[in-house]
Amino acid sequence: MSEMKPRAYLAKAIKRNLGQWSGSIVNRYLIGAINAALRKAQLKDTESVKGTKSILLSKYRDVLNLPTYYWEQSLHDILKCPYTVETGIDRKSITLSITDFIPRELLKSPPEATHFQFCLCIGVVCDYVFIPEHRKFEPVYSGTQMMSSMKEMESEWIPVKEKQPYNLTFTVALPDSFQLENDMTVLRCIGIVFGKNTYDMESLKYNRGSIEFLGAI
């Protein structure tokens, strides 16, 4: 039984749960890097024989800190000011706060960019386990139970040359109806996406922005 298939499924689920906005700014080789990290978690299942090792990610969430999530530059290279991110006590929300933020002075934007936006995402994935009677790996929770397992938000577009200070607070949260279990892993990330305002706001072809993975809990 191949142990690669559940890693591939879970790696794709993790990337998908970083938010649609992150698709153009994440590491191009992120799927492979996540797959390698998941293998480390899978090998920790010492009770199972080769070919049946489960991915108990909820026990070994720190392996998701190993990949590099951004592509060209880190968020700290772009955003030159302190910010705080708070996670709700129930693990179902994150809040980004920035005070006295002056884009013209505290944002390193590419020359072609006219605007930018802040982005947040919170998503959930579950463990993959080997089911002997089915002789295959399956997620602990079905697709129905994992519906609404990702929420994201994008701020309004802000001019990169803005001189006035901003006090910003953004929150994204999973629905109250979503039942978060101990064998689920919560993914949190924030990012900046750059755009160019011509007739409409367009994404840049290069230097599109960056993402910071805030860890799995």
pLDDT in tens, 76-89: 999 999 999 999 99
Task: Give the C-alpha separation, 144 to 57, whole Å.
Answer: 20
184 forms bridges with which residues in the sheet?
126
**In which element (H, E) is residue 212 found?**
strand 209-216
Please, are residues 52 and 33 in contact by the beta-carbon 8 Å criterion?
no
Task: Give the C-alpha separation, 25 to 62, whole Å.
Answer: 22
pLDDT in tens, 156-206: 999 999 999 999 999 999 999 999 999 999 999 999 999 999 888 888 888
* Mean pLDDT taken over the chain: 94
The full set of domain ranges for the chain reads 4-216
Which residues 6+ apart lie within 8 Å of 28 measured at CB?
A: 71
